[in-house]
């Protein structure tokens, strides 16, 4: 992960979730640890995690850290009826 801005960090994490590399319930790297590994401010990583929470991608657990949010199963309602013509 070579991200430098909060939006780049959150975009890369979201991509990992969407590709199935990070599964629901997976604990994200602590803010300070990720900031140190990326060479950015902890504030930048915190902003990225906040952005992901706002988008519903992760859930915060206070001092227990952040985890990938559970996926909500969408019930199929079947094919909609379409009038001929």
Query: Residue 13 domain-assigned?
Result: yes
Query: Residue 36 domain-assigned?
Result: yes
CA distance 22 to 33: 18
Number of domains in the chain: 1
Angle subtended at Cα 10 by Cα 43 and Cα 70, rounded to the nearest 5 degrees: 115
Query: Residue 40 domain-assigned?
Result: yes
Q: What is the CATH number of the domain that holds 43?
A: 1.10.10.10
pTM here is 0.77
Q: How does pLDDT run across 28-82, given as a tens digit for each residue?
A: 999 999 999 999 999 999 999 999 999 999 998 778 889 999 975 445 556 666 6
Query: Residue 25 domain-assigned?
Result: yes
Query: Residue 78 domain-assigned?
Result: no
Give residue 60's domain range. 6-68
Query: Residue 79 domain-assigned?
Result: no
Query: Residue 84 domain-assigned?
Result: no
């Amino acid at each position: 992960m070579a991200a430098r801005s909060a939006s780049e960090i959150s975009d890369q994490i979201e991509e990992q979730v969407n590709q199935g590399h990070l599964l629901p319930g997976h604990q994200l790297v602590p803010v300070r640890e990720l900031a140190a590994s990326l060479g950015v401010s902890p504030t930048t990583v915190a902003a990225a995690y906040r952005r992901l929470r706002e988008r519903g991608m992760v859930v915060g657990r206070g001092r227990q850290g952040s985890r990938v949010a559970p996926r909500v199963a969408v019930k199929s309602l079947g094919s909609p009826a379409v009038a001929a013509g």
